[in-house]
Structure 1
Amino acid sequence: MTSSAWSIALLASTGLVLFLYAVSRLALSLRHLAGERVKSWLDRFTKSVPAAILTGTVVTTLLDSSSVVIILAIALVSAGALPFRNSLGVVLGANIGTTISSQLFAFDLGQYAVVAMLPGLLLLFFSKKRAGRASGRALFCFGLLFFSLFLIGEAAAPLKDYQGVQAWLLKLENPVRGAGAGALLTLLIQSSSATLGMVIKLAAKGLVTLPAGIAVMLGAELGTCSDTLLATIGRGRAALKTGLFHLGFNAISITLGLLLIQPFTALVLLVAGHADVARQIAHAHVLFNLAGVLLFAPLVPLCQRLLDAWLPDQAQPAPALAVKTA
């Protein structure tokens, strides 16, 4: 490997590591700030499917992680604090809320990251209150998120001169191959946001086409199911059913997306043909997840009945009767 190739690999790896750190710490800091309020929102504002979808969307936008919201919902279902049916709407809403990240990633904000990082660092160091330090950490990680994507974009820019890399990226236009690459990458790094962020930055540098970006996006949607399924282990059947609904929802949506990828790509071009490819991929993410939610929302009662029939709740053992002795 040449020295320039090593430089590209090191810069890209640095950007990816910083991105994964920023994503995890940002979600953790926001969860600390929200505290018990998130749980109360999930409990109070999920009485109907539309309300649950809206709540899932808002909470995911605030926490910047659909996985965190779905895992929280699974934990609440397991504890009996959130009915299983209501959790299905939260899952659908989380898939809408996660599209906000891709819209932000399409903006070239990396060079302005210090505007958020510096005040965040000052708050983190000098605030005496826990809430102030958590706010500073969240602000710093928010800026770090965009700075790390800037590093990835800068590392990717010289790849235009590597014909082998260009040829491999063009192969991702094959829907199955692109989706497979997106799913594998998301499984490895455990972050669909990181996968989408990298694809959007590669598209901004002219290295990824819209069809390839859509295919990788579809795969990333599938790969993100792994951590939510892991969160259901040992949590009972109600929690398992929530995780299975998330997997089924994504699997069916992605299958339909792959089958209809050509007309879907045409729709994206119709809606966002004036935008650059990076923005088109971000819009495709929004359109795809919105279409999936609109398709599944009316089917929530049916999905609940099917999952209840397949995995009925375990009956509670009857209390033992005390036997009186003479």
Structure 2
Amino acid sequence: MFKELFSLFAVFIALFLFGMIIMRAGLLPLGGELFQRNVHRFTDKAWKGLLIGTVATAMLQSSSAVLVMTVGLVAANLLTFRQSIGIILGANIGTTITTEILVLDLSHFIIPLLLTGLVALFIPKKKAFSIGCLTFGLACIFIAMDGLESLAYPLSNLPSVHTLFHFTNDHSFTGILIGAALTGLVQSSTATTAIAMGFMSDHLLTLKSGIAIMLGANIGTCITAFLATIGASKHAKLVAFANIWLNLLGVIIFLPIMDVLVQVVTSMTDDKMQQLAHSSVIFNTICSVVLLPFAQAFARFVEWIHSKSQTYQ
């Protein structure tokens, strides 16, 4: 029973990640080209960088992809580190679009999306292929979401999992660690949040625990950008460090006021999954917008704190 459940759990996570990769494969030729073509025009001011970072991440459905491209641009001296700050702030906002999409009840569109995707993938045109990847990947994501939700209750009956849930519900910091570790493992904060949503829908995790996991996922997603800086210039590494500091400071600030965030999102909707999605939007938007007027000061802080770090050299 234990092996069967965790095998299915791993399959649905793999299907979710596969869907994300396929969907990005369709979006990247369009969004990636648009992002790199316009990035220079929209980074002379931090607020412009925030806008292009938000739009590009919403189009690519991946803050990691945008940050990796940004690291590449800085490494190639096509963009300065300070110009990248706005993009980093925007990427954190844009990534919340995915979680909002996940809570929509689109399960009845799964078959049409799969069929549309399969047909479009066999049409020998670039745009048709992109549409095929987008629809097929989206269908895989919704299939995985339904699977994760169906496994939530059987998994919770396992003594070890039940104990972990109970402990997480009583200790928010544990949720942050789980979120960070799981995201570092699967390389997707969206997948981690989706898993938390599945358990919350069956009332196995409290909203506060789900928010804690979401906060941890924001820290864990920094790993991808950091890995992209291996062997890169010191200025490119600063992009990854800035992303880490943004999310780390945001979590530190929000941790004491999580009860306030819980009250805010519960007043907005009764749906548990929507509450977690809204929490992600509120957290990332507030962190980015509050820091926006201090973008250059934040850049100087990152430069100063890593000026003598061995990983910076």
Relative to 1, partners in 2 of residues 1:35 and 1:300: Cα closer, same or farther, differing over 3 Å?
A: closer
Q: Which residue of the partner structure matches residue 242 of structure 1?
A: 239
C-alpha deviations, 1:116-171, integer Å up to 9, x for none? 1210110102x112332232122211111111111111222434555653442132
CA contact (8 A) 2:75 2:232 kept: yes
Question: What is the CA distance between 1:311 and its match in structure 2?
Answer: 5.8
- Is 1:137 the equivalent of 2:137? no
Secondary structure, counterpart of 1:47 in structure 2:
coil
Relative to 1, partners in 2 of residues 1:188 and 1:114: Cα closer, same or farther, differing over 3 Å?
A: same
Q: Which residue of the partner structure matches residue 110 of structure 1?
A: 107
CA contact (8 A) 1:106 1:278 kept: yes
CA contact (8 A) 1:120 1:135 kept: yes
- Of stretches 181-190 and 150-159 in structure 1, the one that deviates more from structure 2 is 150-159
- Of stretches 47-56 and 36-45 in structure 1, the one that deviates more from structure 2 is 36-45
Question: What is the CA distance between 1:51 and its match in structure 2?
Answer: 1.1
- Of stretches 94-103 and 232-241 in structure 1, the one that deviates more from structure 2 is 232-241
Residue among 278, 282, 285 paired with 1:283: 278
C-alpha deviations, 1:38-57, integer Å up to 9, x for none? 20122222221111111111
| Letter of the 1:251 counterpart | L
Q: 1:50-199 maps to which residues of 2 (within 5 A)? A: 50-125=47-122, 127-159=123-155, 161-162=157-158, 165-173=161-169, 174-199=171-196
Query: In the comparison of the two structures, how many residue pairs are matched?
Result: 306
Q: Which residue of the partner structure matches residue 12 of structure 1?
A: 9
- Is 1:258 the equivalent of 2:258? no
CA contact (8 A) 2:118 2:136 kept: yes
- TM-score scaled to structure 1, two decimals? 0.88
Secondary structure, counterpart of 2:43 in structure 1:
coil
Note the residue ranges of structure 2 that are not aligned, 5 or more in a row.
308-313
C-alpha deviations, 1:77-108, integer Å up to 9, x for none? 11122232221100000100111111111223
Measure, in 2, the Cα distance between the counterparts of 1:90 and 1:190: 20
Question: What is the CA distance between 1:242 and its match in structure 2?
Answer: 1.2
CA contact (8 A) 1:170 1:209 kept: no
Measure, in 2, the Cα distance between the counterparts of 1:87 and 1:47: 10
Q: Which residue of the partner structure matches residue 311 of structure 2?
A: none
The Cα RMSD (Å) is 1.9
Secondary structure, counterpart of 1:183 in structure 2:
helix
C-alpha deviations, 1:12-57, integer Å up to 9, x for none? 2211111111112222331123352220122222221111111111
Secondary structure, counterpart of 2:39 in structure 1:
helix
Q: Which structure has the larger Rg?
A: 1
| Letter of the 2:287 counterpart | G
